[in-house]
Structure 1
Amino acid sequence: MRIVHIIDNLYRAGGAQKMELLFAQLACANGIDLTVVSLEDDRPHATIKAELAQAGARVQVFSAKTLLDPARLWRLAQFLRRQKFDVAHTNLTYANIVGVLAARLAGIPVIGGLRNAGARPDRHQQTRHRLETFTLRRLAAAIMAVGHTTAQAHQSRLGERPIHVVQNCVVLPRLPAAAERAAMRAELLDDPDRPLILSVGRLAEQKGYPDLLAAVARLRSTHPAAMLLIAGEGRLRPALEAQIVEQRLAGHVRLLGMRRDVPRLLSAADLFVSSSHWEGLPNAVLEAMAAGLPIVATSVSDTPRVVVDGSGLLVPPKNPDALAAAIDTLLNNPTRMRVMGA
């Protein structure tokens, strides 16, 4: 079977890109012929392209200066037609517009993918939102979402079109030996006995990191040794760095930037926190749970479907006080943390 996946970009280490790589590894290992098309030129960030190639997928780039560039649309449609793919699958907004249009021009059935319950689009996003609604509602052969809340959030704009829920998944990691965990903690902390809190995600408004930093500021008096590490990169880095200085958190928070060794970070952590304002089905939370970590997460989208009683604590979004209280509760009870992560 020949499948083409079309995605906005491959340089952001977000959930869509992680799922793309996981699908490639599983699909190619089972004899599926997979091509991944990126709609942005990702040459400065070639890591995931190399990993896709290692998995057995081919990667093609069809970049353009504007979303609906007719030359790009024609080239992509011609490529899809020549390759004679059996099915196309699009991921993220640009791909749900350009990829669906190109696949239909090429005569290939296309499945549109929805990944976030999402915030209400602002005026700059309205045009893209309307275009995506048209392509998915009128042109896609089928529509899938990563979670039930995501499907519900988009149902009204897609009319009577059914939205099929195919949830994100993770591969269970190998649990690290005690010596590996100790070595990683020694690398990350000045004192390996400090409580280590981890969060993973893009430095974007969606992830609610200002709330998490504010929560850590509230914890300084009760847990002065606690250290928060945030793995991820994004345009909010300058604002978060300024907040760290303003709230005197330099000894309590570190921004690690983009990391390709998240499993090692998870193996070293004591607690995982997700402060998102919205999600689909968060890969980062699933990966942390698979690594055996207790969770503090905001009760957004499908997170309450996976973080259930006994595996973590849920708090309202945009509420630093509630985040701080939940983290405080678990740091004060190491036995409960171990049971949650078991």
Structure 2
Amino acid sequence: MRILFVFKDFKPDGGVERVQRQLANQFCLDGQQVTFFIMNGDRADTAPTDTIRQIGEPCSWGVFSVLNSARSLRRIIRQQQVTHVIAAKELANLCTRLATLGCNCRVIYTRHAALDSAEQTLNPALLAILYSFYLLGHGQVVTVSNGLKAGLTRRVPWGKTRIKHCPNAVVTEQLSAKAACPLPAHLPSNYLLAVGRLTEEKGFDLLLTAYAKALSQRPLPDLVLVGAGPEHGALHKQADQLGIAGRVHFTGFLSNPYPLIKQARFFVLSSRHEGLPTALIEALALGTPVLAADCDTGPRELLDNGRLGILVKANDVEALAEGIIQALNHSDGLRAAHLEVIQQYTSQQAAQAYYHVWNQ
């Protein structure tokens, strides 16, 4: 197989980029040839394998740029004799659909983000048109959770037989080894942890307010936030205003957050929306107790309706504060490796799921 991954851009701290790179690494281990096409020319130098080639040129955004990228991608598919394509995120999906018109390669268009996300710039009607356009050919659509699959099928019911669910490649053989590294020296040894891009979607503003409210009711460990993003300044200011700046530690982006995840008192997911939260899977894989906001897709599916962790109402500060106190009281009882849940999120299982979709 000659597999081509298509991206709009490649952010080092992006969850989609990380899981797709791990999937690509597994394909390489399986003996496949893998190439990346990144539309804006970003470099994907975030993994140890040197068997993945990369093609792409910097471009500005706009209709003509997408058309130019599609023309370049079409030429590459023919020159490299690509047999299978995976596109990640909407602009890459559209570029891939245009590039593969009339081609015989097998195409998968992926959906990673919640359909009702505030960061979703496409209205539901346009989203349905786009996915109808993808499915007019021979391609298939893959969502990263069953909840996303159900939501997308409601929007494009005629295409339900070609909308599939494939788990993300999250759990790798390197995860435990990375988690065994020492903690950063400047952080407390007893802490609560949240990990993610500092964006409105992740609800860190809700978490700070909930943490301050819970702290007013009982002593708590410090709170550590791992990640970078556009809300960094606003969150620092909010912590100051809440009087908890001395108790909240912003680490910025960390290439290896896994020691922090493994040794946290418990992991908190405060998101307003999710597709499938990678960090929550990693916490489960490392045996860390978890507290998660019950947003539309992702957490409930992962936590088996609350059997494997505490679920609280999404976008609700009071519920999140109560959940923090509850999780602190029961964290020892929640600490367990949920092997039956995380097995499907290994890179091997994820690769097999994609092979199965292609072979249908």
Uncovered stretches (5+) of structure 1, i.e. residues with no partner: none
Letter in structure 2 aligned against 1:145: T
- Contact kept, 8 Å, 1:103 with 1:109, in 2: the verdict is no
- Contact kept, 8 Å, 1:78 with 1:106, in 2: the verdict is no
Could you tell me how far 1:53 is from its partner in structure 2? 6.2
- Contact kept, 8 Å, 1:208 with 1:275, in 2: the verdict is yes
d(CA) in 2 for partners of 1:142 and 1:332?
45
d(CA) in 1 for partners of 2:168 and 2:215?
35
Could you tell me how far 1:280 is from its partner in structure 2? 1.7
d(CA) in 1 for partners of 2:288 and 2:251?
19
Letter in structure 2 aligned against 1:174: S
Provide the TM-score with structure 2 as the length reference: 0.83
Which of 92, 99, 107 matches 1:95?
A: 92
Which of 127, 147, 150 matches 1:149?
A: 147
Letter in structure 1 aligned against 2:172: V
- Contact kept, 8 Å, 1:24 with 1:52, in 2: the verdict is no
Structure 2 counterpart of 1:24: 24
Letter in structure 2 aligned against 1:27: F
d(CA) in 2 for partners of 1:55 and 1:303?
34
d(CA) in 1 for partners of 2:94 and 2:324?
41
Identity of aligned residues (%): 24
1:255-266 equivalence runs, <5 A: 255-266=250-261
Structure 1 counterpart of 2:232: 237
d(CA) in 2 for partners of 1:23 and 1:11?
16
d(CA) in 2 for partners of 1:2 and 1:322?
49
- Contact kept, 8 Å, 1:5 with 1:36, in 2: the verdict is yes
Structure 2 counterpart of 1:279: 274
Root-mean-square deviation (Å):
2.7
Structure 1 counterpart of 2:183: 184
Could you tell me how far 1:99 is from its partner in structure 2? 1.7
Cα deviation per residue 1:129-149 (whole Å; 9 max; x = unaligned)?
A: 466334323245111111111
- The 10-residue stretch of structure 1 (299-308 or 329-338) with the greater mean CA deviation from structure 2: 329-338
Letter in structure 1 aligned against 2:183: M
Structure 1 counterpart of 2:53: 58
Could you tell me how far 1:269 is from its partner in structure 2? 1.3
Could you tell me how far 1:35 is from its partner in structure 2? 0.6
d(CA) in 2 for partners of 1:133 and 1:62?
26
SS in 2 for 1:54: coil
Letter in structure 1 aligned against 2:241: E
Question: Are residue 68 (structure 1) and residue 66 (structure 2) matched?
Answer: no
Q: Any runs of at least 4 consecutive aligned residues in structure 1 with deviations exceeding 4 A, and if so which?
A: 120-124, 339-342
Letter in structure 2 aligned against 1:188: L
Question: Are residue 84 (structure 1) and residue 85 (structure 2) matched?
Answer: no
SS in 2 for 1:256: strand
Cα deviation per residue 1:168-206 (whole Å; 9 max; x = unaligned)?
A: 2423632789xx67x4165422xx3x3x11111111222
SS in 1 for 2:46: helix
Structure 2 counterpart of 1:5: 5
